[in-house]
Amino acid sequence: MRRLALRGGLALLALAGLGILGFVLWPSITELQSDLTRLHEIIEDARDWRDDNTLLAVGLFLTVFSLGSVLPLPVVAGLTLVGGAAFGFWAGFLLSVLATVAGASLSFLIAQHLLNRPIRRWLGPRAVQIDTAVARNGTLALLSLRLTPGLPFVLLNMGAGVSAMRLATFAAVTGIGVIPNKAILAAAGTQLAEIDQVSDIFSPRIILLLIALALTPWVLRWIARRLAGEAPA
């Protein structure tokens, strides 16, 4: 009897706590709903404009994304989300990969033709060591670095540009290396476009996607270590 009374009391306390929490958070939830509605309307307007100006939309996205990939600014992830939201998963994913390769190749060429001498002079003897490493296992080394989360891609692009690596090899490895990240972010952007209510945030798809986003850096780091010949953590 006492256990039953204790369980009943705990249940009442839990309900009271949830009620208080809901009362405290209600203004924030209402504001969030308003923001989600506004965001959904913006995405729908963007999709309508894309449908009316398909070639212009694709060209503009590729140009902005490619230039954003050249600059040392953290805009690429956000642009991939925009691509998924505006173009859908497959188109957003493919356009993001293409633009990333184009931007990375542009950085590579800038380093190769305009900054080669200053960078190699600054590297000194290390420049020869880099050339040797690239000649020995440059493809796997670059792929490993591409899959490493948090590594500044602009520095990696320019570092490859002053090495002995060929542009075709660099572009191919870059395209392969960014596939996992672009796929997850494009999917996130696509799902973002479908969120219209606060309750949509707690749908199974969104929850699974959030889990995938959280696990992706760890999985990519593990793959990168395997490619680099290191034991996985």
pLDDT digits 0-9 by tens, 63-73: 999 999 888 77
Cβ atoms 65, 95 nearer than 8 A:
yes
Cβ atoms 160, 170 nearer than 8 A:
yes
Q: How confident is the model at residue 64, as a pLDDT?
A: 94
Q: Quick check: is 19 in a domain? A: no
Q: Quick check: is 87 in a domain? A: yes
Residues in the chain with pLDDT values less than 50: 4-5, 7-8, 10-12, 14-27, 29, 231-233
In three-state secondary structure terms, 183 is: helix
- Closest to 164 measured CA to CA, from 197, 191, 129, 195: 129
Q: How confident is the model at residue 222, as a pLDDT?
A: 79
Q: Quick check: is 113 in a domain? A: yes
Q: How confident is the model at residue 162, as a pLDDT?
A: 84
| 106 φ, ψ (degrees, to nearest 5) | -65, -45
pTM of the model: 0.76
Q: How confident is the model at residue 209, as a pLDDT?
A: 72
Q: How confident is the model at residue 117, as a pLDDT?
A: 84
Tokens, residue 100? 């990333």
Tokens, residue 18? 């949830």
Cα 93 to Cα 185: distance, rounded to the nearest angstrom: 8
Q: Quick check: is 138 in a domain? A: yes
Q: Quick check: is 26 in a domain? A: no
> Domain span at residue 112?
53-227
Q: Quick check: is 71 in a domain? A: yes
Cβ atoms 192, 36 nearer than 8 A:
no
Q: How confident is the model at residue 198, as a pLDDT?
A: 56
Q: How confident is the model at residue 62, as a pLDDT?
A: 95
The number of distinct structural domains making up the chain is 1
Q: How confident is the model at residue 2, as a pLDDT?
A: 54
Q: Quick check: is 43 in a domain? A: no
Cα 37 to Cα 125: distance, rounded to the nearest angstrom: 58
Q: Quick check: is 13 in a domain? A: no
Tokens, residue 227? 């490619």
